[in-house]
Amino acid sequence: MTVLAWLLGLLLPACAASGAHGLPAPRPMDMAHIVRPASPNTALAAPADFDPRPDLVTPTYPVPAGTLFVELQRVAAGQRRVFLAAAYPDRLQLHWVARSAVWNFPDLVTGQVLADGPAAARLILYSRSVYGYGDFGVNRRRLDAWLAALTHALAASTAPKPHT
């Protein structure tokens, strides 16, 4: 944590914490009833027919829900300054805290995998700022990056293995 983050933590306590600490432990979220604020500091990635309308449309992934859940965990674990805050495997739901580099601002990211048959799954990702009215597009760029990494990871894990 930087000195700037520590000083900011005097006003905004979650900025003085590290990792997923400094915020209440997230409870399971009802992703079917997301109510987005009027402020431009959130981003939503979900299937095209999702309500509210997503900023980014996620496809139906041609893998079982459990596989998508594991790959989503791996993608998030590979991101800088992203920390697992809670996991609800029975719901295929994960919660992370993503921190900015200089000020240590926390953002919340929630992922939900939905089974769409035995060999297909859908994904909802919701990223939002804890502090501030705007986010300069950070939450949307984060979801763009995670979705691209997830697509790459799934392609690599399902590609046919060469015979040796």
Domain containing residue 153: CATH number: 3.30.530.20
The answer to whether position 33 is within a domain reads no
The answer to whether position 45 is within a domain reads yes
The answer to whether position 11 is within a domain reads no
The answer to whether position 6 is within a domain reads no
The answer to whether position 14 is within a domain reads no
Q: Distance between CA atoms of 38 and 56, rounded to whole angstroms?
A: 18
Q: Which residue has the tokens 């799954």?
A: 121
Per residue in 34-53, pLDDT (tens digit) is: 999 999 999 999 999 999 99
Element (DSSP H or E) covering residue 122: strand 121-129
What's the pLDDT at 90? 97
The domain containing residue 138 runs over which residues?
39-158
List beta partners, residue 126.
44, 110
> How many domains would you assign to the chain?
1
C-alpha 53, offset from chain centre: 17
Per residue in 55-65, pLDDT (tens digit) is: 999 999 999 99
Per residue in 85-132, pLDDT (tens digit) is: 999 999 999 999 999 988 889 999 999 999 999 999 999 999 999 999
Parallel, antiparallel, or unpaired: how do β-strands 93-99 and 106-115 relate? antiparallel
The answer to whether position 43 is within a domain reads yes
The answer to whether position 28 is within a domain reads no
Whether the pTM exceeds 0.75: the reply is yes
The answer to whether position 32 is within a domain reads no
Question: In this structure, what are the phi and psi dihedrals at residue 41, rounded to the nearest 5 degrees?
Answer: -130, 30
Answer yes or no: is pLDDT of 155 > 90: yes
Strands (E), the chain: 42-46, 56-57, 82-88, 93-99, 106-115, 121-129
List beta partners, residue 134.
none
If you count DSSP H runs as helices and E runs as strands, how many of each does the chain have, helices first? Answer: 3, 6
Q: Distance between CA atoms of 96 and 109, rounded to whole angstroms?
A: 5
